[in-house]
Structure 1
């Protein structure tokens, strides 16, 4: 078996792991989990879509929009690209060092954190492979300061510390950290409200599609209000960070534009469905409804109700026949002629000696 078990080994011995196997961060696990979850749901829908024979267009558009908006809300809550900036710098790796290194630095601001990346460019690879991705949270008032001190203690590269300092100081005009934290907090609250409306919309779409359209409108408005809230609460003086002579100007990232796009799409879809339902009642439908194509389907019930009304109208029209109207009037007169004698005697104080009760049956008793 020689040559089988000693493949890729030196001198036939066991594999020697004499080097560090650490790799740089290539993706956010939480975002990948969200993409996989919603992608699995959408792929499962695409697998069953060829078997759909009715309401194909409305079903496809509704499911696609629902999955897209739900994924957008979850990604926006976890994402790090609400406000971003990248730049190429010539800086030192550590403080007070004279060696200059060409590197790329980026700041990616989320609702509750900021990711700062630092990657040495290939022309400066004589110092080795250097790539950092540090995340600083500000979920609590003093959490950013704590993370900043931990970064200093660990010996984080000087450019990362320089950029993080803009968000950790809350005095002498350095108030960007507080304002970004406030903007992220209220934007996250509105996103959670949007997620609640989105969940309610999904339930209404399978129960009462008309109300599901109203839920779409509310969800879209909440998502648009999220963008408005974040924009209004951003620092009035835009953050311009200086790192070793390079300038980082922050602009809106794809998380912001994704929420805006999804909100507009959901609002527009809700308005369109509402208008269609007002012009053509009960015409909008998808196969995702609970009672679709069953005896309890709302379309079947509506058709049966129309059939019942038409039958009643035909019966009423049949009473216009002279003979039937004469018979019916005679029956009504005979029913009015029946008088409860016992009730009359009781009202006028007349006692009936023949009966023990003040009430007598209105019809004559048959002899036994």
Structure 2
């Protein structure tokens, strides 16, 4: 009885769909919110007793997360190319009224968005709300010619928009992407460039994740991966410029021409690529010149960057330090007599570390042959280095 209260028809009330235009991309907003939440969580730990260390950690984490955020925004951004014009154009098929409207086009790696907004005071459109944002996707097959079940996704969505009665200006813009013949192959070229660019962007995201892992062990390797992240993004920019289409996209309206230009997503990817490459170069240089400061900033044990440790006598260490090549370095035999072992205990050994991929004290000069040792000297067995 409660469900029929106030309902004369005797069944639950049904309301029509309240269609409204989309003014922002929910996926992009979700990515931004997720990274902002992470940054807020790390920022909470700054006001503590060890404030200086926390500030360094927050600056490091902020830069690393910022690069990852910009990689995702460049990948899923809908503004690789954009254009907006003010035109006077027919509104819909079957309606003679014309409107003064703003038409915008936003091209991404996977789709194209066409917007139409007007505050027309035409009496024929008195109760009409003109605020459209239609997305047409081309992922990823070109499909057969036409609009049938085996046609491309873009062509099928275009035909569905015609059946829904989408305004004429939007269909006019999308028609340039749907046609695939002669000199009108804009949809094919944008789809191809978006395909290759989105592969490079996902690869850049993978190398960024690998860099985060390596920054907690061997920092210079993380720098190499970060540099690869930047190079992949710059390669995506280059492919978009080269592959997208041989002729610029120009869509004429009544007295106005809609011409696209590189948008926010394109420049975000470009700037983030440069930032990643510059950061990687700085890390590699600091690892060679100021490794102590670098490992302190990343809060990593410096010994993780060394492959091995050798214990040399002062004479042997002097040979390496002064870049002298001597062939008369005495080798310690595998087995020693009692007198030799007692004499060996009185020698002070100096630990020399060998870095990953480099050898300390080596400056383009051949080093003497390594000194084989059976084991660490007994008087250093319990010494912590």
Bucket of the pairwise TM-score, normalised by the shorter protein: 0.7 to 0.9
CA distance in 2, matches of 1:284, 1:253: 36
Aligned to 1:82: 80
Query: After superposition, what is the alpha-carbon deviation per residue over 1:161-217, rounded to whole angstroms, capped at 9, x for unaligned?
Result: 000000000013211111111111111111011011101001011121121111111
User: CA separation of 1:87/1:329 partners in 2, compared to 1, >3 Å: closer, same or farther?
Assistant: closer
Aligned to 1:166: 176
CA distance in 2, matches of 1:237, 1:275: 43
Q: CA deviation at 1:123?
A: 4.7
Superposed CA RMSD = 3.2
Query: After superposition, what is the alpha-carbon deviation per residue over 1:217-275, rounded to whole angstroms, capped at 9, x for unaligned?
Result: 11111111111111111212100012344311000000000011111111111111111
Structure 2: any 5+ residue segments left out of the alignment?
1-12, 143-151, 315-335, 342-385
Q: How does 1:1-16 map to 2 (within 5 A)?
A: none
Q: How does 1:258-337 map to 2 (within 5 A)?
A: 258-285=268-295, 292=300, 297-298=301-302, 331=339
215, 220, 223: which one pairs with 1:210?
220
Q: Which has the higher helix share?
A: 1
Q: Is the 8 A contact 2:218 2:304 kept in 1?
A: no
Higher mean displacement: 266-275 or 243-252: 243-252
CA distance in 2, matches of 1:299, 1:168: 59
Q: CA deviation at 1:17?
A: 9.9
User: CA separation of 1:130/1:99 partners in 2, compared to 1, >3 Å: closer, same or farther?
Assistant: same
- Where 1:88 maps in the other structure, the secondary structure is strand
Structure 1: any 5+ residue segments left out of the alignment?
1-15, 314-327, 334-368
Aligned to 1:222: 232
Aligned to 2:379: none
Aligned to 2:131: 131
CA distance in 2, matches of 1:98, 1:275: 68
Aligned to 1:63: 61
User: CA separation of 1:148/1:23 partners in 2, compared to 1, >3 Å: closer, same or farther?
Assistant: closer
Q: Once superposed, which parts of structure 1, at least 4 consecutive aligned residues long, lie more than 2 Å away? A: 16-24, 49-62, 95-98, 121-128, 243-246, 280-283, 285-289, 297-302, 328-333
User: CA separation of 1:210/1:332 partners in 2, compared to 1, >3 Å: closer, same or farther?
Assistant: closer
Matched, 1:181 2:178: no
User: CA separation of 1:330/1:43 partners in 2, compared to 1, >3 Å: closer, same or farther?
Assistant: closer
Q: CA deviation at 1:282?
A: 3.9
Q: CA deviation at 1:32?
A: 1.3
CA distance in 2, matches of 1:132, 1:329: 92
Matched, 1:35 2:32: yes
User: CA separation of 1:208/1:18 partners in 2, compared to 1, >3 Å: closer, same or farther?
Assistant: closer
Aligned to 1:12: none
CA distance in 1, matches of 2:216, 2:181: 53
Q: Is the 8 A contact 1:113 1:138 kept in 2?
A: yes
- Normalising to structure 1: TM-score of the pair? 0.72
Structure whose alpha-carbon radius of gyration is higher: 1
CA distance in 2, matches of 1:171, 1:34: 38
Q: Is the 8 A contact 1:219 1:263 kept in 2?
A: yes
Aligned to 2:90: 92
Matched, 1:121 2:131: no
Q: Is the 8 A contact 1:104 1:121 kept in 2?
A: no
